Protein backbone atom coordinates (compact mmCIF):
# COMPACT_ATOMS: atom_id res chain seq x y z
CA UNK A 1 0.00 0.00 0.00
CA UNK A 2 1.39 3.39 -0.98
CA UNK A 3 1.66 6.27 1.47
CA UNK A 4 1.50 10.00 0.90
CA UNK A 5 1.38 13.19 2.92
CA UNK A 6 -2.06 14.77 3.35
CA UNK A 7 -3.28 18.27 4.07
CA UNK A 8 -4.34 18.99 7.66
CA UNK A 9 -4.77 22.10 9.78
CA UNK A 10 -5.26 22.18 13.55
CA UNK A 11 -7.17 25.13 15.00
CA UNK A 12 -5.16 28.28 15.73
CA UNK A 13 -6.75 30.55 18.34
CA UNK A 14 -4.11 33.31 18.29
CA UNK A 15 -1.14 34.34 16.17
CA UNK A 16 1.53 37.04 16.30
CA UNK A 17 4.69 37.92 14.39
CA UNK A 18 7.39 38.96 16.89
CA UNK A 19 10.09 39.32 14.21
CA UNK A 20 10.03 40.41 10.57
CA UNK A 21 13.21 40.23 8.53
CA UNK A 22 14.20 41.12 4.98
CA UNK A 23 12.96 37.88 3.41
CA UNK A 24 11.49 35.82 6.26
CA UNK A 25 9.69 36.32 9.56
CA UNK A 26 8.97 34.42 12.76
CA UNK A 27 5.40 33.58 13.74
CA UNK A 28 4.03 32.36 17.05
CA UNK A 29 0.73 30.44 16.87
CA UNK A 30 -1.37 29.15 19.72
CA UNK A 31 -2.50 25.73 18.48
CA UNK A 32 -5.23 23.51 19.91
CA UNK A 33 -3.93 19.95 20.43
CA UNK A 34 -6.11 16.83 19.93
CA UNK A 35 -6.69 16.59 23.70
CA UNK A 36 -7.89 20.20 23.86
CA UNK A 37 -4.76 21.73 25.38
CA UNK A 38 -3.31 24.86 23.77
CA UNK A 39 0.43 25.16 23.05
CA UNK A 40 2.59 27.80 21.39
CA UNK A 41 4.47 26.92 18.23
CA UNK A 42 7.20 29.24 16.91
CA UNK A 43 8.28 28.87 13.29
CA UNK A 44 9.95 30.72 10.46
CA UNK A 45 7.67 31.94 7.69
CA UNK A 46 9.45 31.51 4.37
CA UNK A 47 8.49 32.51 0.78
CA UNK A 48 9.62 29.19 -0.70
CA UNK A 49 12.61 28.24 -2.82
CA UNK A 50 13.70 26.48 -5.96
CA UNK A 51 16.85 24.49 -6.69
CA UNK A 52 18.28 23.10 -9.92
CA UNK A 53 20.16 19.87 -10.43
CA UNK A 54 21.72 20.60 -13.81
CA UNK A 55 23.06 17.50 -15.56
CA UNK A 56 25.45 17.79 -18.49
CA UNK A 57 25.94 15.39 -21.40
CA UNK A 58 28.73 13.59 -19.53
CA UNK A 59 26.54 12.78 -16.54
CA UNK A 60 28.12 15.45 -14.36
CA UNK A 61 26.16 17.70 -12.01
CA UNK A 62 26.80 21.44 -11.89
CA UNK A 63 27.70 22.38 -8.30
CA UNK A 64 28.95 25.45 -6.50
CA UNK A 65 30.80 26.05 -3.24
CA UNK A 66 29.57 28.91 -1.09
CA UNK A 67 30.18 30.17 2.45
CA UNK A 68 27.16 29.71 4.75
CA UNK A 69 27.56 31.80 7.87
CA UNK A 70 25.00 30.10 10.18
CA UNK A 71 26.87 26.76 9.96
CA UNK A 72 30.36 28.30 9.54
CA UNK A 73 31.19 26.14 6.54
CA UNK A 74 31.72 26.34 2.81
CA UNK A 75 29.11 23.98 1.41
CA UNK A 76 28.91 22.38 -2.01
CA UNK A 77 25.43 23.08 -3.32
CA UNK A 78 23.34 23.13 -6.46
CA UNK A 79 22.01 26.46 -7.81
CA UNK A 80 19.07 27.64 -5.73
CA UNK A 81 17.20 30.73 -4.66
CA UNK A 82 14.03 32.21 -3.25
CA UNK A 83 10.72 32.74 -4.95
CA UNK A 84 10.73 36.50 -5.40
CA UNK A 85 6.98 37.11 -5.18
CA UNK A 86 3.95 35.09 -3.98
CA UNK A 87 2.58 32.94 -6.78
CA UNK A 88 5.75 33.17 -8.88
CA UNK A 89 6.08 30.35 -11.39
CA UNK A 90 8.78 28.11 -9.88
CA UNK A 91 10.16 27.10 -13.28
CA UNK A 92 10.81 30.74 -14.14
CA UNK A 93 12.52 31.21 -10.78
CA UNK A 94 14.68 28.11 -11.36
CA UNK A 95 15.71 29.30 -14.81
CA UNK A 96 16.64 32.66 -13.31
CA UNK A 97 18.75 31.09 -10.56
CA UNK A 98 20.58 28.80 -12.99
CA UNK A 99 21.44 31.81 -15.12
CA UNK A 100 22.44 34.11 -12.25
CA UNK A 101 24.54 31.61 -10.29
CA UNK A 102 26.05 29.52 -13.08
CA UNK A 103 25.52 31.52 -16.32
CA UNK A 104 23.89 28.42 -17.79
CA UNK A 105 20.59 27.68 -19.54
CA UNK A 106 18.80 24.37 -20.14
CA UNK A 107 16.43 23.08 -22.80
CA UNK A 108 14.83 20.19 -20.88
CA UNK A 109 13.23 20.69 -17.47
CA UNK A 110 11.53 18.20 -15.12
CA UNK A 111 10.43 18.27 -11.51
CA UNK A 112 12.82 16.06 -9.58
CA UNK A 113 11.24 16.32 -6.13
CA UNK A 114 9.44 18.64 -3.69
CA UNK A 115 10.49 18.90 -0.05
CA UNK A 116 9.90 20.80 3.17
CA UNK A 117 13.37 21.59 4.50
CA UNK A 118 12.64 21.74 8.25
CA UNK A 119 8.89 21.28 8.81
CA UNK A 120 9.25 21.22 12.60
CA UNK A 121 10.37 24.85 12.67
CA UNK A 122 9.97 26.45 9.24
CA UNK A 123 7.34 26.38 6.48
CA UNK A 124 9.92 26.57 3.68
CA UNK A 125 8.97 24.47 0.66
CA UNK A 126 11.55 23.74 -2.04
CA UNK A 127 10.95 22.44 -5.56
CA UNK A 128 14.06 20.77 -6.99
CA UNK A 129 14.19 20.68 -10.77
CA UNK A 130 16.23 18.48 -13.07
CA UNK A 131 17.69 20.49 -15.96
CA UNK A 132 19.24 18.77 -18.99
CA UNK A 133 20.64 19.83 -22.36
CA UNK A 134 22.54 22.62 -20.63
CA UNK A 135 24.77 25.20 -22.28
CA UNK A 136 26.55 28.40 -21.35
CA UNK A 137 24.65 31.65 -21.73
CA UNK A 138 26.14 34.16 -24.14
CA UNK A 139 26.99 37.68 -23.05
CA UNK A 140 28.05 39.19 -19.74
CA UNK A 141 27.60 37.29 -16.50
CA UNK A 142 25.04 38.39 -13.94
CA UNK A 143 26.62 40.74 -11.40
CA UNK A 144 26.95 38.93 -8.06
CA UNK A 145 27.49 40.27 -4.54
CA UNK A 146 28.18 39.24 -0.95
CA UNK A 147 28.81 35.47 -0.50
CA UNK A 148 28.38 34.88 -4.23
CA UNK A 149 31.53 36.91 -4.93
CA UNK A 150 33.55 34.03 -3.46
CA UNK A 151 31.60 31.25 -5.15
CA UNK A 152 33.42 28.36 -6.84
CA UNK A 153 31.79 26.40 -9.67
CA UNK A 154 32.43 22.80 -10.70
CA UNK A 155 30.99 19.78 -12.44
CA UNK A 156 31.03 16.50 -10.53
CA UNK A 157 29.91 12.99 -11.58
CA UNK A 158 26.66 11.95 -9.90
CA UNK A 159 28.30 8.84 -8.41
CA UNK A 160 30.85 11.03 -6.64
CA UNK A 161 28.10 13.19 -5.14
CA UNK A 162 26.23 10.12 -3.89
CA UNK A 163 29.43 8.78 -2.37
CA UNK A 164 30.09 12.09 -0.64
CA UNK A 165 26.54 12.24 0.73
CA UNK A 166 26.73 8.75 2.20
CA UNK A 167 30.21 9.40 3.58
CA UNK A 168 28.97 12.45 5.48
CA UNK A 169 31.10 14.84 3.42
CA UNK A 170 28.28 16.77 1.69
CA UNK A 171 25.51 18.35 3.74
CA UNK A 172 23.46 20.87 1.75
CA UNK A 173 19.90 19.59 1.79
CA UNK A 174 19.06 20.42 -1.83
CA UNK A 175 22.23 18.76 -3.08
CA UNK A 176 21.66 15.70 -0.88
CA UNK A 177 18.01 15.27 -1.82
CA UNK A 178 18.63 16.12 -5.46
CA UNK A 179 21.55 13.73 -5.93
CA UNK A 180 19.84 10.81 -4.20
CA UNK A 181 16.57 11.46 -6.03
CA UNK A 182 18.35 11.53 -9.38
CA UNK A 183 20.14 8.29 -8.58
CA UNK A 184 16.81 6.70 -7.61
CA UNK A 185 15.14 7.93 -10.80
CA UNK A 186 17.94 6.54 -12.95
CA UNK A 187 17.68 3.19 -11.16
CA UNK A 188 13.90 3.19 -11.47
CA UNK A 189 11.61 4.31 -14.28
CA UNK A 190 14.09 6.71 -15.86
CA UNK A 191 14.27 10.47 -16.17
CA UNK A 192 11.52 10.79 -18.76
CA UNK A 193 9.08 9.41 -16.17
CA UNK A 194 9.65 12.42 -13.90
CA UNK A 195 6.86 14.97 -13.51
CA UNK A 196 6.70 17.79 -16.08
CA UNK A 197 8.23 21.14 -15.18
CA UNK A 198 4.80 22.74 -14.74
CA UNK A 199 3.45 20.06 -12.38
CA UNK A 200 1.10 21.29 -9.66
CA UNK A 201 2.78 22.38 -6.41
CA UNK A 202 0.22 22.62 -3.61
CA UNK A 203 2.80 23.95 -1.14
CA UNK A 204 3.31 27.06 -3.29
CA UNK A 205 0.46 27.41 -5.82
CA UNK A 206 1.34 29.29 -8.97
CA UNK A 207 -0.06 30.36 -12.33
CA UNK A 208 1.44 28.79 -15.44
Residues with active-site annotation: 148
3-class secondary-structure state, position 184: helix
CB burial of residue 137 (10 Å; 0-12, 13-18, 19+)? middle
Alpha-carbon gap, residue 34 to 39, rounded angstroms: 11
What residues form DSSP beta bridges with 134? 106
Contact 107, 191 (CB under 8 A): no
- Are 103 and 137 within 8 A, CB to CB? yes
Amino acid sequence: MGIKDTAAEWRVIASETPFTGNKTSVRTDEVVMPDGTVVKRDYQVHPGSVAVLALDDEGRVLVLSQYRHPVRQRLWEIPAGLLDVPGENPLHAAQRELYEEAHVKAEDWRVLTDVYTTPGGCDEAVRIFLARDISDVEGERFEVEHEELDMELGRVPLAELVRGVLAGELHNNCLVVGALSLAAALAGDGLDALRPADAEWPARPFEA
